[in-house]
Amino acid sequence: MGVKLVAYFDVVKQEKGLPGQIRLAMLTKMSSITASAAEDSLANIQKFEAAIAKIREERLE
C-alpha cells in the first residue's frame, strides 16, 4: 500500500529537502501519510512522476 508513493517523498526530500516534499504534496494533493495509505496504482504513480519532474525543473528555496 503506497510503498512506491512514499518512496517518491524520500526521493524528493533527498533532492529538494522539505520544500520539495511540501511541493510534492501540493502537486499530488497527497501528504506522505495519505500516500502511504493510497494504492500504488498506475494513475497515482504517473501523477507522482509528473510532479517530481515538475519539481526538478523548479528552483525551490
Partner 1 sequence: MCERYDGSVSLSTKLVVLLLCCLVGLGAIAAIALHQVDTVRRDYQVLLDGPVAQARAAQIVQVDFKKQVQEWKNILLRGHDAADLETYLAKFKAREFEVQTGSRQLLEQIEDSDTRERLMRFIQAHDQLRADYQGALDALAQTDHDYRIADGMVRGRDRPPTDLLDEVADRLITWCESELIAQQERIGRARRMVFATSSILAIGLLMAGAAVARSVSVRLARLRAVSDRLAQGDIEGLRIDVSGTDEIGALGESMKGVLAAFETLLAEARVTIDSNPITVTMRGPP
Judged by beta carbon, residue 29 or residue 53, the one nearer partner 1 is 29
Determine if 21 is a binding residue for partner 1 (CB under 8 A): yes
Between 42-57 and 3-28, two packed helices, what is the crossing angle to 10 degrees? Answer: 60
CA distance 13 to 17: 4
Please say whether the beta carbons of 9 and 22 come within 8 A. no
Judged by beta carbon, residue 34 or residue 40, the one nearer partner 1 is 34
CB of 36 to partner 1, least distance (A): 10
Binding site for partner 1 (CB under 8 A): 9, 18, 21-34, 58
